[in-house]
Chains A and B, each alone.
Chain A
Amino acid sequence: MNGGGQLALILLPTLQCNAACSYCFERRTRDRLSLEGLRVLIERVLEYMAGRRLASLAIYWQGGEAMLLPPEWYDAAGELIGEAAAARAIEVRHLLQSNLLAYGREWNPVIERMFGNCIGSSLDYPNLHRQLRGRSPAHYDVLWRRKLDEARAAGIRVEVISLPNEATLAIGAGRFYEHLVDELGLDQIQINTPFPGGAADDPGRTIDERHHAELLRFHQDLAAIWLERGREQGVRIAPFDALLDHFSDRPAALPCFWGDNCVDRLIAIDARGHVAQCDCWVTSHPDYRFGNLFASATLAELLDGSAARRQFGERPIHLARRACIDCEYLALCHGGCPIRTFAFHGRLTETDPYCALYKALFRQMEDAAVGLARQAVAGRLAAQQSPISALA
């Protein structure tokens, strides 16, 4: 019998991409995963899960650009995985992350069947980095917007991940919210904190430490706008919504960097079979790969024998011996994200560079949850005392 645990697998079936974003940290190659290769990888993942008594698998399909493999490939992949998982009584959920550029109506059936009629995509506003080779970010925006409209016309729900940049900070949270929610009609948005993926002199490097105070203010302003306007209209902005759920004692889908240790819950596998902590590591930091699953008899052997993975596992232990143990939000964070830490400090054994931002957000959403609970009680009391309620 399986336990209640879940594994999240970030699967990169292709390392090719049709875009050339200046901040991209992926080392893009022409590698693609064959269905036969997929069968081998999935069988090893499921075998590992059965051994660890993990009951459900969430597969995040990413690239490169995931849609550069044809929809028929996904049809076959979904079937293959479904059969193998059913044989081990493991539940599987598929989620697709795409830049949408290759989307066309031929995708509709598989998106409905396999991905619950939902696609996750990236959208920065204003766009400084997302572009096609030799073309401008503005050109990319036009293409992306067209694809967004087409997908929506087919009934597909598009959720976006957005990475604030210097221009985002310059326009401020109000304008950002207005564009995404009011103008584009998006209601499921995830804000990610940026980290430098390229070399130090790379023009595509995202905002750095100098902007952390502004970024913190942007997050706080956006959270306040969402609390005031978006929440009641059904708009969800991660991670604010998850934090509000958490502090309101509701089940909360917190991001991977808030939890006891992402290493226990998540792995990434690329088209060549390389296994690493997540997509941020698997192509761009070869020294931190855990191994190659095509070259290992079992995933358990690969993971248990990996010195790199041990470093990830031990990270919270190091941090708990230092500042994090005294943090009032330790239950939420445990030191934050290894890749963000590594990108800023060059080693894993430091606290997340966004520690101050996290704490400020935790406090803000904790206060908001308390305030909303108080309002609810006050509202009920007022209703009981109103003469109208006496007539009811």
Chain B
Amino acid sequence: MTAGIVYRVPATRLAGWSGEPVIVRVDDVAGLATVCVDPPAGLVHLEMPLSPQTAGELAGWRGGAPIDFRLADPANDYPLLYACSPLVDYAPVRITIPVVEGFGRAVRLAVSLQLPVRLQIGQPGPEPIDELAEVLSRFLHGSTVAVPVEPFQGVLNALLRGEPFSLWAIAEDDPALFREVDALGEERLPVRLGGARLAASGEDQAGAVAARFAGDGECRACPFAKGCLGYFKWPDPGYSCAGIREVLDRLSAAADELRADLAAFDELAAGDR
């Protein structure tokens, strides 16, 4: 285990966990309950799939640990989010939603229930990209969206402050910050990078992956390369970023607009004094 890294670990591999930051993966509510009885030191949050089975078990669950619910089939299972909303009074809840066709409805319902969202943006095709643009537009302009939708929120904050950012870090896929531990206890790279097992020289392997972030071709001419570091070229390096770049363009334009608004507001506030 390397210091400074958050490990995603199945609950079955927790015995003897020595206090590094850990995200615990459980399969069901019984798993949640078991971990919550004696939560490991360093617990960042629990992670559980949200499916018709697990949602049904959630009624009455009032455990106090933060939970990340993973909605594998957002297009069909989005109404299950209603099972998560009563939990927000007790602990932070987040919904992880893959950007696949029909995912937009899940985001719409999640934010309307005040549930923060983390999008897993793989290499989306044209339909999910259109939905992503619509989700972004609601995130930026919707009067009823008051919760973060990542990675939009993280990127927007960084652009607004003119700070450097890494999409890999915001998306929780940076191997220098996040690693998987499999059912056998083996350390692996994040799933986006193929989830390969780390050899003994694990750090070198992660470094080699990091070296590839800079990407080539389309990335070289891309205005977002500094923050994106080739994120959308994984796993298929041939993926065309035309749609994604439009989304990032809109995010960047919104940051410019917001910065101008905030400057005008500061001026107004200064005038009041």
Q: Mark A residues whose CB is within 8 Å of B.
A: 3-5, 51-53, 247, 249, 260-261, 264, 300, 304, 313, 316-318, 320-321, 325, 328-332, 334, 366, 377, 380-381, 383-384
Contacts and interface: CB of A to CB of B under 8 A. Distances in A.
Nearest to B106: A325
A317 B144 contact: no
B144 A380 contact: no
Interface in B206-237: none
B15 interface: no
B143 interface: yes
B109 A325 contact: yes
B89 interface: yes
Contacts of B238: none
A313 B144 CA distance: 23
B105 A384 contact: no
Contacts of B112: 330-331, 334
A320 B143 CA distance: 20
Specify which of A317, A325, A329, A331 lies most central, judged by the most chain B CB atoms within 10 Å of its CB: A331
Interface stretch (B79-87, B177-185, B197-205, B248-256): B79-87
B2 to A, nearest CB: 35
Contact of A53 (B80, B90, B108, B109): B90
B62 interface: yes
B78 A3 contact: no
B78 A384 contact: no
Interface in B117-160: 142-146
B268 to A, nearest CB: 6
B16 interface: no
A373 B136 CA distance: 24
**Which of under 10, 10 to 19, 20 to 34, or 35 or more describes the interface residues of B?**
20 to 34
A3 B82 contact: no
B19 interface: no
Contact of A377 (B62, B64, B114, B268): B268
A281 B141 CA distance: 39
| 5 closest Cβ pairs, A-B complex | A331-B112, A331-B144, A5-B89, A384-B271, A317-B79
B268 A260 contact: no
A380 B270 CA distance: 11
Interface of B: 59-60, 62, 64, 78-80, 82, 85-86, 89-90, 105, 108-109, 111-114, 142-146, 268, 271-272
Contacts of B111: 331
Contacts of A4: 89-90
Given A325-B105, A384-B272, 15 more contacts: A5-B90, A249-B146, A260-B113, A300-B60, A313-B59, A320-B79, A321-B79, A325-B78, A329-B144, A330-B144, A331-B144, A366-B143, A381-B268, A383-B272, A384-B271
Contacts of B144: 328-332
Nearest to B80: A317
Contact of A304 (B60, B79, B89): B60
B84 to A, nearest CB: 10
Contacts of A53: 62, 90
A45 to B, nearest CB: 16
A260 B111 CA distance: 12
A381 B82 CA distance: 44
Contacts of A366: 143
A320 B82 contact: yes
Contact of A3 (B62, B109, B145, B146): B62
A188 B105 CA distance: 38
Contacts of B60: 52, 300, 304
19 contacts: A3-B90, A5-B90, A51-B62, A52-B60, A53-B90, A260-B113, A264-B85, A264-B86, A304-B59, A316-B79, A316-B82, A317-B80, A318-B79, A320-B78, A325-B108, A328-B144, A331-B113, A384-B271, A384-B272
B86 A384 contact: no
A11 to B, nearest CB: 22
Contacts of A330: 108-109, 112, 144
Contacts of B59: 304, 313
B147 to A, nearest CB: 10
A318 to B, nearest CB: 8
Contacts of A332: 144
A325 B109 CA distance: 7
Nearest to A384: B271
B89 A3 contact: yes
